[in-house]
């Protein structure tokens, strides 16, 4: 990965983007991709879109969601302690003792999630999300209301870091890595002659309602939609391998297989991987994918979909961990796949003679 691309990735990971509050990260995404796109667009959902050859008859939409899980301020008590609601699939279990950034209506402030001292009994074994509270140092509700309000969002105050062997860790790799991958794919495609149109979309709201994907698909009516997301790695102690396929970091991009997936598109992805000697891994999506693809599929007259995922350890924890090698290979795969398309592909599973 070249230094400017890596800098862009870490810039995205540094930028808070809780679901429903993605404006700041979208501006950075658009600024980066602007020199490489034929057309830029936004929409009323908050999506950011960059296209190459937007008038080509065959159009491919690459969706990588930029939002992350977080907290939603529910109430402030009279002593100035903050209580929160889930924003997406966030767990209370890693939260104790963590720092948070509250993106306040009036000012961004830091708080800590209180943890009862072991000397006084420690946390209850059965504690739940409603037991969490944030201490911002305020002495009263009135003081804290100068900074924040009910409905404000918060994320863990956790910066991305590089680990050994080209691994990275931090909060919200799900799925700001996907937003990065679709942008980088478009940047690389700029150097190639394409027979199809490609629109990279940094989608919003995937962690809460997938509304961004619906707006993008409905607005663009693509010939094919590919969701670029993360999936569960199983290569760490205690990982649940009973319900998922075996997926490892550095094992390469992961293709979904199941009823929602267009098998012809998957075969073309597999051919591109073989040509570039990229190893693939697989996950099963029997009923639905749990990604933006589920909404893309139902837009316009119906959109054939595939899902290409990045292996990720510790999903929805503040220390999500992925491999830069896998990120690069996912971009290589998508670039090869899209440059191989000639625009006459028929993705119907059954054709009339």
Q: Are 229 and 291 in contact (CB under 8 A)?
A: yes
Element (H, E) at 4: helix 3-14
Whether the upstream peptide bond of residue 175 has omega within 30° of 0, thus cis, is yes
Phi, psi of 144 (to 5 degrees): -70, -30
**Amino acid 119: pLDDT:** 64
Is 323 exposed, middle or buried, given 0-12, 13-18 or 19+ CB atoms closer than 10 A? buried
d(CA 123, CA 137): 21
d(CA 203, CA 133): 30
Q: Are 104 and 111 in contact (CB under 8 A)?
A: no
Local mean pLDDT, 10-residue blocks, the chain (353 residues): 95 98 98 98 98 98 98 97 97 94 97 78 76 96 97 97 97 98 98 97 98 98 98 92 82 98 98 98 96 97 97 97 98 98 96 82
Overall pTM surpassing 0.85 (yes/no): yes
Which tokens belong to 284?
């099963």
Instruction: Report the candidate in 132, 156, 133 with the shortest Cα–Cα distance to residue 18.
Output: 156
Q: Rg of the chain over CA atoms, in angstroms?
A: 21
């Amino acid at each position: 990965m070249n230094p400017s691309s890596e800098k862009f990735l870490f810039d995205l990971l540094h930028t808070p983007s809780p679901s429903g509050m993605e404006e700041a990260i979208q501006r950075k995404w658009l600024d980066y991709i602007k020199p490489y796109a034929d057309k830029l667009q936004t929409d009323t959902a908050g999506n950011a879109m960059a296209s190459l050859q937007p008038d080509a008859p065959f159009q491919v939409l690459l969706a990588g969601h930029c939002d992350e899980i977080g907290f939603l301020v529910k109430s402030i008590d009279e002593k100035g302690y903050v209580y929160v609601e889930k924003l997406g699939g966030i767990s209370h279990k890693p939260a104790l003792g963590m720092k948070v950034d509250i993106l306040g209506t009036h000012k961004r402030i830091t708080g800590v999630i209180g943890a009862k001292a072991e000397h006084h009994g420690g946390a209850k074994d059965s504690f739940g999300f409603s037991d969490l509270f944030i201490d911002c140092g305020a002495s009263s509700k009135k003081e804290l209301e100068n900074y924040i309000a009910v409905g404000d969002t918060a994320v863990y105050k956790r910066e991305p870091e590089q680990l050994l062997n080209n691994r990275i860790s931090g909060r919200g790799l799900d799925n700001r890595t996907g937003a990065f991958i679709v942008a980088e794919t478009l940047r690389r495609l700029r150097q190639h002659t394409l027979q199809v149109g490609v629109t990279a979309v940094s989608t919003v709201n995937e962690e809460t309602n997938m509304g961004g994907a619906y707006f993008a698909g409905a607005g663009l009516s693509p010939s094919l939609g590919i969701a670029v997301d993360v999936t569960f790695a199983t290569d760490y102690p205690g990982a649940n391998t009973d319900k998922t396929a075996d997926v490892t970091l550095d094992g390469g991009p992961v293709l979904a297989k199941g009823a929602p997936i267009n098998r012809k598109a998957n075969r073309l992805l597999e051919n591109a991987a073989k040509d570039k000697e990229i190893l693939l891994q697989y996950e099963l999506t029997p009923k639905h994918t749990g990604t933006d693809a589920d909404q893309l599929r139902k837009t316009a007259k119906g959109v054939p979909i595939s899902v290409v995922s990045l292996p990720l350890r510790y999903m929805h924890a503040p220390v999500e961990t992925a491999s830069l090698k896998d990120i690069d290979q996912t971009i290589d795969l998508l670039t090869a796949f899209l440059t191989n398309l000639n625009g006459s592909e028929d993705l119907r599973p059954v054709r009339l003679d």
